[in-house]
Amino acid sequence: MGRALLLSLASCLLVVSRATLIHRCDLAKVLHTEELDGFEGYSLSDWLCLAFVESNFNISKVNENADGSSDYGIFQLNSHYWCNDYQSHSENLCQVDCQDVLDPNLLSAIHCAKKIVSGSGGMRNWVEWRLHCAGRPLSHWMTGCRLG
């Protein structure tokens, strides 16, 4: 009984250790540097809310979907439309490998997210943003963050 519990705990720790988490204010600084504050009318708070509801600030998150596609990175970019994972059909509209979207420097993920937001629907392309961020007060996402 004790051995099974120990193995279970060990496997949980392995999963947790694979997560590459970024602190909210560190993400705000990167997004600010990449000129996302006000990009297509969206504030840094919108971007932070998006990253939280999609990945809980987990840069390395990969989520497999029922349709065979996967969602990648901090913004959960879908392999069917936005990036190529070489496992499912992809339109690869961002012209990027899905593995590149998982890079801790976030540049590939940000470049692709900017492309999505620039298109029709803006951030409304993300269901979780529509459900949890759109039309809500979001200024608290920047609380305590210094950009300078």
Fold designation for 20-142: Lysozyme (1.10.530)
Q: What are phi and psi of 45, to 5 degrees?
A: -60, -40
**Predicted confidence (pLDDT) per residue in 36-63, tens digit:** 999 999 999 999 999 999 999 999 999 9
List the structure tokens of 129. 């943003």
Instruction: Judge contact between 73 and 105, C-beta under 8 A.
Output: no
Question: Which residue is catalytic, options 34, 46, 54, 103?
Answer: 54
- Within 8 A by CB and 6+ apart from 121, the residues are none
Residue 8 has pLDDT above 80, yes or no: no
Backbone CA torsion sign across 114, 120, 124, 127? negative
What does the pLDDT read at residue 15? 45
| Active site annotation includes 71 | yes
Instruction: Give residue 3's pLDDT band: very low, low, confident or very high (50, 70, 90).
Output: low
Q: How far is CA 146 from the centre of its chain?
A: 21
What does the pLDDT read at residue 71? 98
Residue 17 has pLDDT above 60, yes or no: no
pTM for this model (two decimals): 0.87
Instruction: Give residue 13's pLDDT band: very low, low, confident or very high (50, 70, 90).
Output: very low
**Predicted confidence (pLDDT) per residue in 78-104, tens digit:** 999 999 999 978 999 999 999 999 999
Question: Which residue is catalytic, options 46, 71, 85, 100?
Answer: 71
Averaged confidence pLDDT in the chain: 90
**Predicted confidence (pLDDT) per residue in 98-126, tens digit:** 999 999 999 999 999 999 999 999 999 99
| Active site annotation includes 85 | no
